[in-house]
Amino acid sequence: MNERIVRLRAEMERCNLDAVLLKTVTAIRYFSGFTSEDASVIITKDRSVLLTDFRYTIQAKAQSGDCCEILEVSGAAHNEALKKIIEDGAVKRMGFEEDYVSFLGYQKYSAFGAELVPFAKELSLLRIKKSQEEIDNLQKAQSMADEAFMELLKVVKPGMTERRVAAELEYICAKLGSEGPSFETIVGSGPNGAMCHAVPGERQLQEGDLVVVDFGCLYNGYHSDMTRTFAVGKVDPFAEEIYNIVLEAQTRALDALKPGITGKELDAIARDYITEKGYGDCFGHSLGHGFGLLIHEEPRASVTGDTVFEEGMTITVEPGIYIEDKFGVRIEDCCVVTKDGKLNFAHAPKTLQHI
């Protein structure tokens, strides 16, 4: 954590800030190790202070080590303590997470006497390159997801509802050690699969269905994210044709993923192939996104993604084709950019699986 605070202070200096106030659980965890949202962390030029109440002080001491002072405060005393730190440090300009602060919160922080400076983007970019420890956590999260998917294929069967499939999958993930779902599990069968973010419902899996399953596991707070599409029994040749187009589009993008490529260029590789095959209008979302302590982080692989990928950046590669009233196909792996290419965390098979 101390190395992260050093990098944060360097960014503070670049932005002419005297302090940064962290309020989101993601930022607090990244810079202090503390895993509760019932806290504030304030980083000044010479102090790092974690403020929380009696319920969490033992946890804070255990998780934060020596990177932060732990200050036990509660109720109104919390904001008074923050104000005193700001006054004692002669803080004139303070960065804050503008994307996540309510209007009421903004009013409270404005009363501390320092100019509030938007700093959310800078904080997210400080997390854009993953350390080896983070990469190990992400690999563990994805390994659990791979195993869970293969276990799911052994228990899922025609007649199960989408909601039952999602419940079975989340139960398997939990048994394997996942701290919880990375996000709300998506299961879309048959025509429901044409909805990119289908909510599992009461539709029963039927012979001839393609089923889109998008899910992830959590390990030490780090998210995995994968999508597989499988078949219920025999599917028609058109469905298999679309599946193979999506698979080829993903393969081409994965082969091109390496340092130096931009998010826009990576997106175009998959998108241009799908367009060439006549289904460009059926691929309406971005190719991928970064992931880590949040399921969606920088960088982005999209038609506007201008980030140049560098070693340590994560990205999903998830092309899809969605045929309204018929079915959808999406295949997604989660990767980290390496010195010479990429490490694909996902290993579950991508040949069309039949149950």
pLDDT digits 0-9 by tens, 16-67: 999 999 999 999 999 999 999 899 999 999 999 999 999 999 999 999 988 9
39: helix, coil or strand? strand
Domain total in the chain: 2
> In sequence order, what E strands does the chain have?
19-22, 39-44, 48-52, 69-72, 93-96, 115-118, 186-189, 210-215, 218-219, 222-223, 226-231, 288-290, 297-301, 314-317, 320-323, 327-330, 333-337, 342-344
- Do residues 12 and 88 share a domain? yes
33: helix, coil or strand? coil
What pLDDT score does 297 carry?
Answer: 97
- Do residues 71 and 146 share a domain? no
Residue 354 belongs to a domain: no
Question: Looking at the predicted structure, is the pLDDT value of residue 162 above 90?
Answer: yes
Residue 80 belongs to a domain: yes
Question: Looking at the predicted structure, is the pLDDT value of residue 1 above 80?
Answer: no
Of 80, 108, 126, which closes a domain? 126
170: helix, coil or strand? helix
The model's pTM: 0.95
Tell me the pLDDT of the chain averaged across its residues.
97
What pLDDT score does 69 carry?
Answer: 95
Q: What percent of the chain has pLDDT over 70?
A: 100
Closest CA to 226 of 137, 141, 343, 352: 141
What pLDDT score does 76 carry?
Answer: 85
pLDDT digits 0-9 by tens, 55-99: 999 999 999 988 999 999 988 899 999 999 999 999 999 999 999
Residue 229 belongs to a domain: yes
Question: Looking at the predicted structure, is the pLDDT value of residue 190 above 80?
Answer: yes
- Do residues 159 and 85 share a domain? no
Q: How far apart are CA 292 and CA 69, in angstroms?
A: 26
- Do residues 163 and 16 share a domain? no
- List, as one string, the DSSP characters of 216-260: -BEETTEE--EEEEEESS---HHHHHHHHHHHHHHHHHHHH-STT
- Do residues 64 and 149 share a domain? no
What pLDDT score does 93 carry?
Answer: 98
Q: What angle, 0 to 180 degrees and rounded to 10, lies between the N-to-C axes of helices 2-14 and 25-32?
A: 110
Residue 34 belongs to a domain: yes
Q: Are 30 and 127 in contact (CB under 8 A)?
A: yes
Q: How far apart are CA 94 and CA 77, in angstroms?
A: 20
Question: Looking at the predicted structure, is the pLDDT value of residue 123 above 80?
Answer: yes
Q: What percent of the chain has pLDDT over 90?
A: 96
Find where tokens 């276990």 sit: 151
pLDDT digits 0-9 by tens, 248-306: 999 999 999 999 999 999 999 999 999 999 999 999 999 999 999 999 999 999 999 99
What pLDDT score does 65 carry?
Answer: 86
Question: Looking at the predicted structure, is the pLDDT value of residue 138 above 80?
Answer: yes
Using CB atoms within 10 Å of the CB of residue 312, give its burial: 0 to 12 exposed, 13 to 18 middle, 19+ buried.
Answer: middle
What pLDDT score does 326 carry?
Answer: 97
What pLDDT score does 295 carry?
Answer: 98
- Do residues 101 and 191 share a domain? no
